[in-house]
Amino acid sequence: KQEVTQIPAALSVPEGENLVLNCSFTDSAIYNLQWFRQDPGKGLTSLLLIQSSQREQTSGRLNASLDKSSGRSTLYIAASQPGDSATYLCAVPSGTYKYIFGTGTRLKVLA
Amino acid sequence: GAVVSQHPSWVICKSGTSVKIECRSLDFQATTMFWYRQFPKQSLMLMATSNEGSKATYEQGVEKDKFLINHASLTLSTLTVTSAHPEDSSFYICSARGTGGRLRYTFGSGTRLTVV
């Protein structure tokens, strides 16, 4: 049974810091991994999708890496801003269509 | 592109009544839609998977008679919470997977249900 864990559960940092959010999964037989952002009381926004054949994906200040063999992915946020404050979720496929979500990291960037 | 509209964004209902939540894919056809539930400060838990024109597949522990899912067209899926009780209060989010082998899932903005 696939289990997805995210560390840390919560993070509070001053503006401008570079951050690393971690995601680990127990079953490495995945074909992709996604990182999402969720603002309070809102739905999810897909940030990055990494295919199993890729090692990383970049979008602006965000960089996500994937190491299937070790069951880990990291989301790197460069030069954090208050607008980055949100909950970040990673998710991996389970079976054909289902996604299993991690427990999330609640990020607060202080101005 | 790839927009999913979920309505309503929030609803308050009395215990014992039923509530319907709609999930529409606005600019693509969604062969498969997913319904998730999220409790405060917890992650999303998949409730059911619905395929257009067929019965939904429910996850273990989810009452199919309580959470009725209909996916009558390629752009619309509905979740009806029947005989709602306060413990059904939660945040419900839908997700749609497009046709043509799209691997990216698009999520709705969610519905906050409060049963009083």
Q: Is the pLDDT of residue B1 over 70?
A: no
State what percent of residues in chain B have pLDDT above 70: 94
Spatial separation of the C-alpha atoms in residues B83 and B65, rounded to whole Å = 10
Confidence of residue B57 (pLDDT cuts 50, 70, 90): very high
Q: What b/e string do you get for A60-87 counting C-beta neighbours within 10 Å, with b at 16 or more?
A: eebbbbbebeebebbbebeebeeebbbb
Q: How far is A14 from chain B (nearest CA, A)?
A: 22
Per-residue three-class SS string for chain A: CCCEEEECCEEEEECCCCEEEEEEECCCCCCEEEEEEECCCCCEEEEEEEECCCCEEEECCEEEEEECCCCEEEEEECCCCHHHCEEEEEEEEECCCEEEECCCEEEEEEC
Mutate to test the interface with B, among A96, A99, A103, A107 (most CBs of B within 10 A): A99
The answer to whether B6 contacts chain A (CB < 8 Å) is yes
Determine whether the interchain pair B34/A41 forms a contact, defined as Cβ–Cβ distance below 8 Å: no
Work out whether the CA dihedral A8, B105, A59, A64 comes out positive or negative: positive
Q: What does each of the 111 residues of chain A score in pLDDT, given as a tens digit?
A: 889 999 999 999 999 999 999 999 999 888 889 999 999 877 888 899 998 889 999 999 999 999 999 999 999 999 999 999 999 999 998 876 678 899 899 999 999
